[in-house]
Structure formats: structure tokens, C-alpha cells
Amino acid sequence: MKSVYRECSVENRKESSAEHSWSCLILADYFLNLIKEKLDRLKVYGLLMYHDLVEIESGNFEMAPGSDRSNKQKIEECAAKKLSLGLPDILKSKYIKLFEEFEEQKTREAKFAKAIDYLDAEIHELDF
């Protein structure tokens, strides 16, 4: 993930997916301390820790208006399956479960994690 680059800039280079994931974890930790709704903190951390791991295989999809994202879901599902084959057994099922939960957006934790994912990109652009 350190060598998968996003559209966001950091000084004179692009931000890596690893940097984005770390930033999301810090933001989540901050907001989990402020919100009244009790969420499973470890679940949120897991969702954010693994949410962009798929980009190792698929690359990063640009979020800019007009970007072609029509095949994003299919490409990422195939990439997630391929990526999981190279993971140790102890992480393989965990990764697939977290990937699917994040994508399906059916749990409060997944919705919170997705909001943090988007918020990080917005804050980053305001800063840089």
C-alpha cells in the first residue's frame, strides 16, 4: 500500500494508500471519542485498516467528478479475491469479511468507516 498512490498530493508527491489508511484510523479514533452512539471500536479500526488493501491489486480509483468508476465494484471484488489468496490463513477470512462489510455498508460501523474515508480525503484537500 505504500506504493499505491492516490490523487491527493503531499507536498511535491502523491499520497500513498498506506498514509490515507493511517490518517483514517487517527480520524476515527478522534471522532469515536466524540460521538454519543456507541460503535464497536475494534470493528471500525479493522474496517479502516483493511478498506483499501484491495488497491494493491486494483490500484486506486479516482474520485474526481467525471471519473469512470463504472467497473469499480467488479474490479475490486476480483482484486480482493486474488489478494486474499496471498494472505496467511489467519488473515484471509478476516480480510474478506471486513472487505465485504465495508462495501455492503449494512452496519453502523461500516457506515461510520465510510464517512471517515470520505472525510479524510476532504480534510486532506483542504490542507494541501
C-alpha cell at 53: 488493501
**pLDDT, tens digit (0-9, with 9 covering 90-100), for 24-76:** 999 999 999 999 989 999 999 999 998 887 876 666 656 545 555 567 678 77
Using CA atoms, how far apart are residues 124 and 128, in angstroms rounded to an integer? 6
Beta strands in the chain (DSSP E): 5-10, 13-16
Number of domains composing the chain: 1
Range of the domain at 22: 5-61+69-127
Name the DSSP class of 34. Answer: T
The predicted model gives 82-92 an average pLDDT of 88
The predicted model gives 71-89 an average pLDDT of 82
- Residue 101 vs residue 121, higher pLDDT: 101
Q: What is the CATH number of the domain that holds 121?
A: 1.10.3210.10
The predicted model gives 85-104 an average pLDDT of 91
**pLDDT, tens digit (0-9, with 9 covering 90-100), for 95-110:** 899 999 999 999 999 9
The pTM of this model reads 0.81
Residue-wise over 56-95: b if at least 16 C-beta within 10 A, else e?
Answer: bbbebeeeeeeeeeeeeeebbeebbeebbeeeeeeeeeeb
Quote the pLDDT of residue 124: 77
Given the C-alpha cell 490515507, which residue does it identify?
20
**pLDDT, tens digit (0-9, with 9 covering 90-100), for 4-31:** 666 776 778 777 778 889 999 999 999 9
Q: How confident is the model at residue 84 (pLDDT cuts 50, 70, 90)?
A: confident
Using CA atoms, how far apart are residues 110 and 100, in angstroms rounded to an integer? 10
Using CA atoms, how far apart are residues 47 and 102, in angstroms rounded to an integer? 6
Query: What are the beta bridge partners of residue 10?
Result: 13
